[in-house]
Amino acid sequence: MSIGTDTIKINEVVISRNKYNSDPAGYKKTTIDSSILVNYSNSNLSDMLSENTDIFIKSYGMGGTATPAFRGTDASQTLIDWNGININSPMLGQSDLSLIPVGLIDDVQIRFGGASMSLNEGGIGGTINLVTKPLWKKETLISINAGTGSFGQYSGLMKVKTGNYKFQTVTKGYFQNSENNFRYLNTEIGSEPVWQTRTNSQVRQQGFIQELYLRNSNNIASARIWYESADRNLPASLLTQPNTGEKQFDESLRTMLNYDAFKGSTDFSFTGAWMMSRLNYFNRLASIDSRNLSETLTLKAGLENPIGEYAKLKIVLDEQSSVIKSNNYAHNTTRNTATMTASIERNRNRFGTTILLREILDKNNLLIPDFSAGVQFRLIDNKTYYLKANISRNSKIPTMNDMFWVPGGNPDLKNEYALIYEISYEMSQKISEPFNLKYDLSVFRYNIKDMIEWHPGEYSYWTADNIQSVNSTGAESSVSLDYMRNKINASLKAGYSYTRAIEGGSNIGNDISVGKQLMYVPENKANASFRVGYNNIYSLWVANFVGKRYITVDNSKYLPGYFINNVSTGIKFTLKSSSFDMNFNIDNLFNINYQSIAYYPLPGRTYFVKILFQIVK
Amino acid sequence: MKNLIRIIVISLMIVSCQKTPELPNSNYTIGGGVFVVNEGNFRSGNGSLSFYSYDSSKIYNDLFYSVNGRPLGDVPNSMAINGDKAYIIVNNSGKIEVMDQSTLKSTATITGLISPRNISFINDNKAYVSSLYSDSVTIINLINNSISGYINIRRSSESIASTGNQAFISNWTGGKEIMVINTIDDQVVDSIEVGIEPESMVFDRYGMLWVLCNGGWARLNYAELVEINTSTNYVEKTLVFPTKEASPTCLKIDGLGTTLYYLDNGVRQIDISSTEIPSITFIIQESGEYFYKIGINPLNNDVFITDAVDFVKQGYLLLYDGTGKFISKLEAGIIPGSMCFKLRINT
């Protein structure tokens, strides 16, 4: 439902028949509202996800690294995809969400647990799929977006989409600069609290996406390129000495070619992607100059064929090879992984079923195959009331750092794997004329085994081994209520998640952490938003609650929970083919002093003003 | 929806009930015992101070926070007592906490140090502090608790030992030298070449300086135990470890100054007159234990060992008597590290 600020009216024309993206029955998938994406166009993905979804983001604060955690799994068990191709660093196995600007993305899909398996392997917690796509219209859209705010923030974003029903080109470019020199109260040093200003926290970031699409009656071809670079200084913790001269340079270049063809009743899909990612870290004080370059080539081919009247068969082959050049590895290192996935989806009357089987070929060893089975039942004919259930075994190959880091990397590591159980209920209904209600509830259980943990080895350095296990149980629920009549439109959303992620122990003796909640996994998280529009004025309130998070493995210490409110209001004028939108935003309205990671302060009240100008011809 | 609001309200109420630190038994530092500096995890700020009391045979944890109401800092590395003052060197916070040694109340915080590691008191007015990441030893004015100067030794520094008018400073990471400083004018006067990565040092009863060189983490070189005559600054004796795999650390000496102790896959003992590295282990490290640091009570030769377990969970303080007999195992903080004895003469 898009209301009020929805400046980009996206007509829901199905433009891609990319078959890895279709939805198998029995799984949970959510899509972020386009109106939310517009509201966060000048922010990064970490802010948008932490304030609007069940995903907990561990953030080192403005400009600092931010990593996601689903349902008690860790950041390397969450995949970030770009149009179905994984973009996590092969070295770290994770993505820094603070480096992904929301303004470049057209659609954000979240696939929980087993639902990620239809996209690719390794997303034990889930997959966040970032979609960029064309509008198959004969028009030219130009939009310019500029904003500035507290602590030296300024940013700009420009998009040009043009073409016709057969050809489309999309160009997007952006920059974001921020000093992040906010003030905070340091109560941790000295006997009296002191006001301090964040130092060494500047971030400069820029990037662009260029996409070309070509469509014929029975095929679609596309070429995409995405470049990003970010230069940032890394601020210190409240307890560490300032000005250690820590900084990081990240650069990535991602290219992708895609060809989808439809022949008779069979659909074919081919994707080739080459991605480069550079991470250079410097620490002047400790004389660390760490240079890491990874290149990954992914080739993916898919085939989809109907079986009988109600079922279809999908086969996907995925080959990935990564080359790492790092001064932290003994030598340049290559890894090849091939996966083959076969799935059958059947939908008849009110029943839907999915069965998926996957084999990962790594180091020429055949491993125990992964699988997933889902069922779906529509409670009432022609109404959107669904009961869904699925069971999966999903595994994740070790990161290249776990295997090859010097010292301590262990090339003999096994894959981590999880058994995932999930039941969910979904409904959507028009209550009375102007009201529409949506509700969903999911209950999940994860048994994660052979988790990789670094531990002190025989000598004085640490080494990686498959020794840890985690059992995570929880529930997610969300409700949304929309109202639309005459000049008023309003939307209320609320979500709550409960996660009990319990350490199952490792084989290191005397394990006092067994049975305890994992560090930095909040048991309770809730978010709520209320949006109201009247004529050309709109307002939005977003509230986000994160419960206490333990910061020691024996749960003896924790960070208190926090409740953060953001408000935003704007006015929008439309003149024939052009529109002008001006928006004023206050984050952390009540100036709450809080931390996501212990001893890393987060900003208090923050103001941001932005304008958006758009022409459609 | 109603439930959701209820959950939010209840959660907010829970959040507002902050934990107040439990005050330790006020008698905890009366009598003899040993302070344990728990390093905590790098950048997590969960370092802490513990004290084992001989009077109660108990360990008291998280003392600095209990007394001062704030965390000790990031990676406290070592502690030393000088008169009625105790000093904790907090490595990654770049500071020294100066406390009253009996109440543990912080009386001053000396900031602005670069990766400080260990302190050595030269006289009542002056101390030297080593540095992992700078080329200088920092001079501390003990009267007004400030940095009064630097001695550029052109390399990083770790262990400091002083006697007479000389201070000996080891260049641990990547180094192989002991720098000698004249403590009257704070000038570098000499350097002594030893083995690879001299990590820890002690004086024996004859004033000889013993230096344990761990050979470097990559095991490309043999570790060495080196004896230096401090009146000539010449190496008197070098004992080479039998295999490159040996990586000994944490050299200590007993109260008589005749038996050396160190860690190398368990606690080892060697007499200062010995001519070769012993092959037997004095105290065996069991599976699941990770012996991190040792301390020898100079009055009764009790052996204290800190067990860092997996460097994530709470560690332990292990106590053995002078014959190597196990006495007790007590829960300490995260990564319990170096120790500092608080002596009572009749213990």
B303-321 pLDDT tens trace: 999 999 888 888 999 999 9
Taking CB atoms and an 8 Å limit, are B217 and A239 in contact across chains?
no
Residue A334: CB atoms within 10 A of its CB come to 10
pLDDT digits (tens, 9 = 90+) for A64-84: 889 998 898 989 999 999 999
Q: How confident is the model at residue B7 (pLDDT cuts 50, 70, 90)?
A: very low
Residue A506: predicted pLDDT: 66
**A428-443 as b/e: b if 16+ CB within 10 A:** eeeeeeeebebbbebb
- pLDDT tens-digit profile of A368-416? 899 999 999 999 888 889 999 999 999 999 999 999 988 889 999 999 9
The reply to whether omega before B278 is within 30° of 0 (cis) is no
Token output for A18: 């990319």
Best residue in A510, A511, A556, A596 to probe B by mutation, most B CBs within 10 Å?
A510
When the pLDDT of each residue in chain A is averaged and rounded to a whole number, the result is: 89
Is the Cβ pair A545, B93 closer than 8 Å? no
- Convert the pLDDT of each residue in A520-531 to its tens digit: 999 999 999 999
Higher per-residue pLDDT: A460 or B193: B193
pLDDT at A504: 86
Lowest mean pLDDT among A558-562, B6-10, B12-16, B111-115: B12-16
Reported confidence tier of residue A1, pLDDT bands at 50, 70, 90? very low
Q: Cβ separation of A191 and B287 shorter than 8 Å?
A: no
- Is the pLDDT at A7 greater than 80? The verdict is no
pLDDT more than 70, % of chain B: 90
Contact B259, B271 (CB under 8 A): yes
Q: Looking at residues A285-313, what average pLDDT do you find?
A: 92
Using an 8 Å Cβ cutoff, are A376 and A115 in contact? Answer: no
Q: What is the pLDDT of residue A109?
A: 94
Lowest mean pLDDT among A129-143, A186-200, B171-185, B221-235: A186-200
Q: Give the Å distances, CA to CA, from A125 to A46, A113, A519.
A: 17, 5, 16
Q: Which of A237, A508, A545 sits opposite B8 (nearest CB)?
A: A545
Chain A residues close to B308, C-beta within 8 Å: 456
Q: What are phi and psi of A473, to 5 degrees?
A: -130, 145
What pLDDT digit, counting tens, does each position of A74-117 carry?
899 999 999 999 999 999 999 999 999 999 999 999 999 999 99
**Model pLDDT, residue A2:** 35
Minimal Cβ distance to A508: which of B71, B310, B316: B310
Q: Residue A460 pLDDT more than 80?
A: no
Looking at residue A362, its pLDDT comes to 76
Element containing residue A36 per DSSP (H, E) = helix A34-39
Q: Residue A443: which of A28, A25, A23 has the closest Cα?
A: A28
Q: Residue B155 pLDDT > 80, yes or no?
A: yes
pLDDT at A452 over 80: yes
The residue length of chain B stands at 347
pLDDT band of A507, cuts 50, 70, 90: low
Residue-level pLDDT at A116:
92
Q: Is A554 on the interface with B (CB under 8 A)?
A: yes
User: In this complex, do B68 and A191 lie within 8 Å of one another by their Cβ atoms?
Assistant: yes
Average pLDDT over residues B99-128: 94
Place of tokens 């400790």: A286
Q: How confident is the model at residue A483 (pLDDT cuts 50, 70, 90)?
A: very high
Residue B88 has pLDDT above 90, yes or no: yes
Q: Read off the amino acid at residue B214.
A: N
Q: How far apart are CA A583 and CA A601, in angstroms?
A: 27
- Greater confidence (A1 vs B195) lies with B195
User: Could you tell me which residue, A288 or A314, shows the higher pLDDT?
Assistant: A314
Contact B4 A494 (CB under 8 A): yes
CB contact under 8 A, B15 and A548: yes
- Name the residue of chain A whose CA is nearest to B3's CA: A496
What pLDDT does residue B27 have? 54
pLDDT at A8 over 70: no
Hey, are the CB atoms on B4 and A506 less than 8 Å from each other? no
Rounded to the nearest integer, the mean pLDDT of chain B is: 89
Q: How confident is the model at residue A132 (pLDDT cuts 50, 70, 90)?
A: very high
Average pLDDT over every residue of A128-153:
94
Quick one: A505 exposed, middle or buried, by C-beta within 10 A (0-12, 13-18, 19+)?
A: middle
Q: Whose CA is closest to A82, among A275, A219, A260? A: A275
| Percent of chain B whose pLDDT exceeds 90 | 78
* Chain B residues within an 8 Å CB radius of A561: 11-12, 14-15
pLDDT at B5: 47
Secondary structure of chain B in the HEC alphabet? CHHHHHHHHHHHHHHHCCCCCCCCCCCCCCCCEEEEEECCCCCCCCCEEEEEECCCCEEECCHHHHHHCCCCCCCEEEEEEECCEEEEEEHHHCEEEEEECCCCCEEEEECCCCCEEEEEECCCCEEEEEECCCCEEEEEECCCCEEEEEEECCCCCCCEEEECCEEEEECCCCCCEEEEEECCCCEEEEEEECCCCEEEEEECCCCCEEEEECCCCCCCCCCEEEEEECCCCEEEEEEECCCCCCCCEEEEECCCCCEEEEECCCEEEEECCCCCCCCCCCECCCCCCCEEEEEECCCCCCEEEEECCCCCCEEEEEEECCCCCEEEEEEEEECEEEEEEECCCCC
Q: What pLDDT was estimated at residue A458?
A: 63
Contacts of B109 in chain A (CB under 8 A): 189-190
Q: What is the DSSP string of A343-396?
A: EEEEEETTEEEEEEEEEEEETTEE-PPEEEEEEEEESSTTSEEEEEEEEEEEEE
Of A238, A459, A526, nearest to B8 by CB-CB distance is A526
pTM: 0.86
Q: What is the pLDDT of residue B128?
A: 98
Give pLDDT, residue B42: 87
| pLDDT score, position A20 | 40
Who among A407, A509, A554 is closest to B314 (CB)?
A: A554
> CB distance A510–B92 less than 8 Å?
no
What pLDDT was estimated at residue A368? 84
Which two tokens mark A269? Answer: 């899909």
According to the model, what pLDDT value does residue A361 have? Answer: 85
pLDDT class for A553, splitting at 50, 70, 90? confident
Provide, as residue numbers in chain A, all residues whose Cβ is less than 8 Å from the Cβ of B107: none
| A188 confidence band (pLDDT: 50, 70, 90) | confident
Contact A240 B43 (CB under 8 A): yes
Q: Compute the average pLDDT of residues A312-333.
A: 93
Reported as a pLDDT band with limits 50, 70 and 90, residue A476 is very high
Nearest to B303 by CA among B287, B318, B286: B318
pLDDT band at B23 (very low <50, low <70, confident <90, very high): very low
Taken in order B14, B16, B19, B23, the sign of the CA dihedral is negative
Q: How far apart are CA B52 and CA B138, in angstroms?
A: 31
**What pLDDT shows up at residue B72?**
94
Q: For residue B287, with 0-12 CB atoms within 10 Å meaning exposed, 13-18 middle and 19 or more buried, which class applies?
A: exposed
ipTM above 0.95, yes or no: no
pLDDT for residue B29: 63
Integer Cα distance of A503 and A515 in angstroms: 5
Which of B197, B118, B198 minimizes the C-alpha distance to B162? B118
Could you tell me which residue, B116 or A456, shows the higher pLDDT? Answer: B116
